């Protein structure tokens, strides 16, 4: 099938196996227990998620990937508490949570910086709401702004920043609250390819520096493999867990690994799971736009 | 001059052309008015008598329509009398621009005919006070109620259906009732402007409030904000520029209701002045008063527009020096250092599409 012979995506080098073993010993930060979500629809009920369970351990990078309509956005919104599950429970460090809270930071796909606040004040927002004095909040916020490399833009307004910069501020704003988990809903989906690549490496750097567990939604296979320790693959109609993949690509990650055999093996497996009919082209109805005879003669 | 096409769809004309067009939009009506007033053969349907001749009924300085004038002269001619003479003129209700321009000044300096009557500036001030008082009363109830309706479904369902019904009742029909309840002073006038403004205001503000980007509220929730904090720190700032714009439009409506309100009960204010001057047939004063209302309305709105641009910098506005002086604290040291030339600590990302 493949042009080059790929190893099994389940084969792990000793270092990776070791890391995975260590990961399994860490405490569970966020857990979803058999989440089911049904929406009322015209034909009775529509099941968006069916019995989805997951857990993310401390400092793990867990990606959730799946074809469109698999309910991955619904899932992360349930984890954040922005929507409620029809059945099942969300646990944060063993406690059930049902409403949004500062211990679960979230970065959205769209730009959700408050346009009336400067960058600094945006990052201070959660801290002030949490009851920190303005002075403390400001010095705390500046540290996070410096970490995402935007210190010189602290007094700018969001509309003066590029898309990638806005998402960096959004990450700083979520992290400033010291959340236990960072939920990211296709955060780089609206960015162009180069900016997205740069943002991915920023995110990995931040993840290495901060004690944070990341749950990351994406539909980009490369992005999922490049960033994650483990990838939860969902399938659509209804949204169910298809497979949980441990990524055999060694850490720390670098863009050079995009062409490594382990990387490609995982990607090939994801392709299989997400586009099961690959190989058979979707046939479009053909329209005759020109007369074939004209071109031949 | 630029070569931009004149009739480009949905495109701003170049700056200079825009400025010229703006001036023209005022100059063109003025030109038409001048033509009608100063060029005799365009309209001038009447004749102003300069010499009554042997006419029995024509009087010097009087105005008659041309047909009657010619008929009278024909009659005089048949009796071999002295012909009446006159120049073509417009009706009294169309004074020439220079007369109105003069009236804009003299109307203020002319003493009222009766000592108990107000001067023009007093009438004008009375009107302004009534409008702003009514708008103020309407706003201190209407704006909070509208915002509450926009935020809470419960309040919206409780108030909006009735308000929706009530706003279809034309404010002037409450005139008689308002006088009966509130007497003949300014009370009923304020009540009518209030009725005309308030119900629209609640609905407009509620709709504006409902348009807050849900993602901003969700983002704030994941940062720990809820309840009153969420309303105060997210909903209010998010809608503030839109509410401001709504208020500009609503203030315009309040002005329109003024004219109806001022004839309820005892006629007062600028409407009284206009009616009075029309009764005396001093039409240039009528025009002057109407223009003054326009100037006040337009001027207020322009001023509010300037304040808007300076207030909501984050919404694309820009502060001028005066507003920077009152509103912006001294820039922090870091920003000043960053603004210093020759220093670029950060590599700016290439622009993203």
Q: Which helix (H) or strand (E) holds B288?
A: helix B283-311
Q: A65-108, pLDDT tens digit by residue?
A: 988 878 888 999 999 999 988 888 899 988 888 889 889 999 99
pLDDT band at B56 (very low <50, low <70, confident <90, very high): confident
pLDDT of residue A113: 93
Greater pLDDT, B59 or A1: B59
Assess B331–A contact: CB distance below 8 Å, yes or no.
yes
The architecture (CATH level 2) of B109-327 comes to: Orthogonal Bundle (1.10)
What is the layout of strands, in order, in the sheet containing A104-107?
Answer: A104-107, A181-185, A213-218, A61-65, A230-235, A240-246
Instruction: State chain A's mean pLDDT as an integer.
Output: 86
Instruction: State chain B's mean pLDDT as an integer.
Output: 86
CB atoms within 10 A of CB A3: 5
Q: Are A167 and A191 in contact (CB under 8 A)?
A: yes
| B chain contacts of residue A164, beta-carbon cutoff 8 Å | 349, 352
Assess B87–A contact: CB distance below 8 Å, yes or no.
no
* B-chain residue closest to A182, CA distance: B222
CB pairs under 8 A between A and B: 106
Assess B334–A contact: CB distance below 8 Å, yes or no.
yes
Are B218 and A112 within 8 A, CB to CB? yes
| In the predicted structure, residue A3 carries a pLDDT above the cut 80 | no
Domain residue extents for chain A = 1-99+218-272
Domain residue extents for chain B = 46-89, 109-327
Q: Which of A74-83, A275-284, B201-210, B277-286 has the lowest mean pLDDT?
A: A275-284
Q: Residue A137 and residue A154: Cα distance in Å, rounded?
A: 14
| In the predicted structure, residue B103 carries a pLDDT above the cut 80 | yes
Q: Residue B244 and residue A223: Cα distance in Å, rounded?
A: 44
CA distances from B278 to B265, B273, B348 (A): 19, 9, 68
- The share of chain A scoring above pLDDT 70, in percent, equals 92
Q: B164-202, pLDDT tens digit by residue?
A: 999 899 888 888 898 889 988 889 999 999 999 999 999
Q: Mean per-residue pLDDT for B211-217?
A: 92
Q: Are A90 and A81 in contact (CB under 8 A)?
A: yes
Q: A132-181, pLDDT tens digit by residue?
A: 889 999 999 999 999 888 999 999 999 989 888 999 999 999 999 999 99
DSSP letters, chain A, are --SSPPPPTT---HHHHHHHHHHHHSPEEEEEEEEEEEEEETTEEEEEEEEEEEEEETT-EEEEE-STTS-HHHHHHHHHTSS--SEEEEEETTEE--S--TTEEEE-SS--S-TTS-HHHHHHHHHHHTT--HHHHHHHHHHHHHHTT-GGGTTS-GGGS-HHHHHHHHHHHHHHT--SEEEEESTTTTS-HHHHHHHHHHHHHHHHHS--EEEEEES-HHHHHHH-SEEEEEETTTBEEEEEEE--SPSSP-GGGGGSHHHHHHHHHHHHHH-TTTTSPPPPPP---S-HHHHH-
Assess B80–A contact: CB distance below 8 Å, yes or no.
no
Per CATH, the homologous superfamily of domain A1-99+218-272 is P-loop containing nucleotide triphosphate hydrolases (3.40.50.300)
Q: How far is CA B165 from the centre of its chain?
A: 27
Write down the pTM of the prediction: 0.81
Q: A178-213, pLDDT tens digit by residue?
A: 999 999 999 988 888 888 898 899 899 889 888 899
pLDDT of residue A120: 93
pLDDT band at B346 (very low <50, low <70, confident <90, very high): very low
pLDDT band at B351 (very low <50, low <70, confident <90, very high): very low
Are A82 and B221 within 8 A, CB to CB? yes
Q: Residue A89 and residue A122: Cα distance in Å, rounded?
A: 31
| A chain contacts of residue B229, beta-carbon cutoff 8 Å | 129
Are B223 and A125 within 8 A, CB to CB? yes
Q: Residue A24 and residue A297: Cα distance in Å, rounded?
A: 69
pLDDT band at A293 (very low <50, low <70, confident <90, very high): low
């Amino acid at each position: 099938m493949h042009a080059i012979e790929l190893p099994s995506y389940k084969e792990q080098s000793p270092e990776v196996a070791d890391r995975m073993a260590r990961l399994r010993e860490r405490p569970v930060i966020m857990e979803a227990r058999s989440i089911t979500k049904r929406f009322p629809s015209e034909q009775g009920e529509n099941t968006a998620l069916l019995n989805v369970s997951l857990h993310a351990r401390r400092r793990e990078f867990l990606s959730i990937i799946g074809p469109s309509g698999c309910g991955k956005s619904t899932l992360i919104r349930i984890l954040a508490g922005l929507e409620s599950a029809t059945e099942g429970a969300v646990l944060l460090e063993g406690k059930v949570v049902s409403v949004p809270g500062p211990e679960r930071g979230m970065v959205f796909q769209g730009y959700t910086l408050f346009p009336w606040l400067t960058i600094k004040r945006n990052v201070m927002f959660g801290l002030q709401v949490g009851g920190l004095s303005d002075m403390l909040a400001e010095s705390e916020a500046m540290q996070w702004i410096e970490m995402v490399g935007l210190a010189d833009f602290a007094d700018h307004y969001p509309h003066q920043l590029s898309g990638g910069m806005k998402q960096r501020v959004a990450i700083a704003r979520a992290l400033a609250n010291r959340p236990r988990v960072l939920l990211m809903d296709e955060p780089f989906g609206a960015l162009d390819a180069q900016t997205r690549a740069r943002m991915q490496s920023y995110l990995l750097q931040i993840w290495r520096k901060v004690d944070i567990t990341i749950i990351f939604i994406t539909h980009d296979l490369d992005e999922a493999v490049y960033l994650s320790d483990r990838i939860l693959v969902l399938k659509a109609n209804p949204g169910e867990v298809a497979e949980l993949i441990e990524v055999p690509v060694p850490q720390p990650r670098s863009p050079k690994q995009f062409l490594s055999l382990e990387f490609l093996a995982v990607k090939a497996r994801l392709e299989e799971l997400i586009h099961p009919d690959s190989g058979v082209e979707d046939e479009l109805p053909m329209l005759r736009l020109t007369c074939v005879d004209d071109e031949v003669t | 001059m630029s070569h931009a096409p004149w009739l480009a769809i949905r495109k701003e004309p170049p700056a200079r052309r825009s400025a010229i067009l703006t001036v023209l939009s005022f100059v063109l009506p003025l030109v038409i008015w001048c033509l009608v007033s100063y060029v005799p053969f365009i309209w001038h349907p009447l004749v102003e008598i300069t010499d009554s001749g042997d006419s029995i009924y024509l009087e010097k300085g009087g105005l008659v329509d041309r047909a009657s004038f010619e008929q009278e002269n024909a009659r005089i001619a048949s009796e071999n009398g002295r012909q009446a003479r006159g120049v073509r003129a417009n009706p009294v209700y169309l004074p020439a621009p220079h007369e109105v321009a003069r009236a804009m000044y003299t109307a203020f300096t002319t003493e009222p005919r009766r000592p108990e009557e107000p001067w023009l500036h007093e009438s004008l001030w009375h009107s302004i006070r009534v409008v702003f008082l009514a708008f103020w009363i309407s706003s201190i109830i209407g704006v909070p109620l509208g915002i509450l309706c926009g935020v809470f479904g419960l309040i919206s369902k409780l108030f909006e259906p009735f308000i929706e019904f009530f706003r279809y009742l034309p404010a002037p029909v409450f005139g008689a009732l308002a006088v009966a309840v509130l007497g003949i002073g300014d009370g009923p006038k304020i009540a009518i402007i209030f009725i005309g403004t308030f119900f629209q205001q609640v609905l407009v503000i509620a709709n504006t409030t409902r348009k807050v980007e849900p993602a901003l509220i969700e983002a704030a929730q994941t940062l720990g904000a809820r309840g009153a904090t969420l309303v105060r720190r997210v909903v209010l700032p998010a809608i503030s520029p839109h509410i401001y714009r709504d208020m500009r439009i609503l203030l315009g409506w309040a002005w329109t209701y003024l004219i109806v309100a001022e004839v309820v009960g005892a006629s007062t204010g600028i409407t009284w002045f206009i009616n009075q001057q029309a009764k005396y047939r001093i039409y240039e004063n009528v025009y002057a008063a109407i223009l003054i209302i326009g100037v006040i309305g337009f001027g207020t709105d322009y001023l509010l527009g300037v304040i808007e641009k300076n207030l909501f910098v984050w919404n694309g506005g820009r502060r001028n020096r005066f507003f920077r002086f009152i509103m912006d604290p001294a820039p922090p040291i870091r920003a000043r250092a960053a603004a210093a030339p020759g220093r670029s600590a950060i590599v700016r990302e290439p622009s993203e599409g």
